[in-house]
Amino acid sequence: MITTDASEEIRQLRDALRGTLGTAHQELPSAPAADWREGWRALAELGVTGFCVPEEKGGIGLRADAAVAVATELGAALHGSPYAGLAASARVLALADDPVADQVLSGVLSGERVCGFGRLSGDGRVARLVDGVAHSDALVLLEQDGDGATLLLDPLDWSADARHHGFDVSRTCADVTVVPGQGRRLVVPAVAVAVDLYELLLAADTVGSAHRMLERTVTYAGQRRSFGRPIGGFQAVQHRLVDHSVRVRGMTLVVTEAARLLSAGSSRARRWVAVAGSSTGAGAPHILHDLLQLSGAIGFTWEYGLHFHQRRVHQNARLAANPRGALRALADLEGWTDAR
């Protein structure tokens, strides 16, 4: 998989994740697992839920590089967990300095609870595109403006509508309507870091999917024969695969740099997160579409599984700012919109 970060502890983390997820080899399941929560505690024992939680709250600080490694491997495995939202909500709960939030956080860190993450609309009642609602027993919903968030502690506190969000079959996603009068308001300093973390981990998830299917397509091109030779021996196929390798490598480097800056608390982190969101959200769907073409007829089958990754990268772009939104954010940060 991806080896941009040479850190020994990150390599060990990836190896442990691949062993737990069963992705040490290229064989992929024909469909995403029906219930990802069955093995979630085993992953939580590896510390994946605490990589962005301060040490005094039971985590290990802000290690965005480790969280990115986890998101990448989960994306490659088509894992159904809403990991980006879990990590972001854990960050919010840890910074809220609230006893109830601390109790929920304890359950999230142990893997016993799943806390979804979303952003409320202006009226404070609806949150669009909340990932993992079907498996969540708590939600953290950020207010549209300011440093506040609403903590919902029971699925009875909200209603979910998933009718228009079934494109990605590897995860669940829904629009959430908060029951009037329910929820606990939290005041969260530096809440923008949680949003940056959320968008960055979605980009890392996309990189995992793109890299996984690129590896598989390269292997296929070396095995599939046409006119008496592997199709990977034809220059047109070689050039397309090399181009895709360069693009995926570029996405990987951008995500890695964004994680480094976010962990360091750099003021430049928001810019790099926006670049990561734009590059993965716009580039990965096109790459996977062409990999589908290069895989021939087998790539179009349900059993081959490439379409699951296609659906996932499209959904990641929707859950984050989407490519256009990421570009707008970058333009605002750089002052390019002042020219108007």
Q: What percent of the chain has pLDDT over 70?
A: 95
Q: Binning pLDDT at 50, 70 and 90, where does residue 188 land?
A: very high
Average pLDDT across the chain, whole number = 90
Residue 125 located in a structural domain: no
Alpha carbons 250 and 256: distance in angstroms, whole number:
10
Q: What pLDDT is recorded for position 226? A: 84
Q: Binning pLDDT at 50, 70 and 90, where does residue 165 land?
A: very high
Mean pLDDT of 303-327: 87
Residue 100 located in a structural domain: no
Q: Binning pLDDT at 50, 70 and 90, where does residue 7 land?
A: confident
Residue 72 located in a structural domain: no
| Pairing assessment for the beta strands 225-226 and 148-152 based on DSSP bridges | unpaired
The predicted-structure confidence for 37-76, as pLDDT tens digits, reads as follows: 888 999 999 999 999 999 999 999 999 999 999 999 999 9
Q: Binning pLDDT at 50, 70 and 90, where does residue 2 land?
A: very low
∠209-210-215 over CA atoms, to 5°? Answer: 100
Q: Is the pLDDT of residue 198 over 90?
A: yes
User: In which domain, by residue range, is 273 found?
Assistant: 191-339
Q: What pLDDT is recorded for position 27? A: 61
Residue 206 located in a structural domain: yes
Q: Binning pLDDT at 50, 70 and 90, where does residue 339 land?
A: very low
Q: Which residue bears the tokens 């952003």?
A: 119
Mean pLDDT of 319-323: 81
Residue 312 located in a structural domain: yes
Q: Is the pLDDT of residue 208 over 70?
A: yes
Q: What pLDDT is recorded for position 29? A: 55
**Number of domains making up the chain:** 1
Q: Binning pLDDT at 50, 70 and 90, where does residue 253 land?
A: very high
Q: What pLDDT is recorded for position 91? A: 96
Q: Binning pLDDT at 50, 70 and 90, where does residue 243 land?
A: very high
Q: Specify whether the CB–CB gap between 66 and 51 falls below 8 A.
A: yes
∠223-224-230 over CA atoms, to 5°? Answer: 75
Q: What pLDDT is recorded for position 327? A: 78
The predicted-structure confidence for 68-103, as pLDDT tens digits, reads as follows: 999 999 999 999 999 999 999 999 999 998 999 999
Residue 46 located in a structural domain: no
* CATH number of domain containing 210: 1.20.140.10
Beta partners for residue 115, in sequence order = 138
Residue 287 located in a structural domain: yes
Q: Which residue bears the tokens 């910074």?
A: 95
Mean pLDDT of 197-204: 97
The predicted-structure confidence for 264-299, as pLDDT tens digits, reads as follows: 999 999 999 999 999 999 999 999 999 999 988 888
Sign of CA dihedral 255, 261, 263, 269: negative
Residue 220 located in a structural domain: yes
The string of DSSP codes covering 102-117 is HHHHHHHHHTS--EEE
Q: What pLDDT is recorded for position 31? A: 65
Stated pTM of the model? 0.93
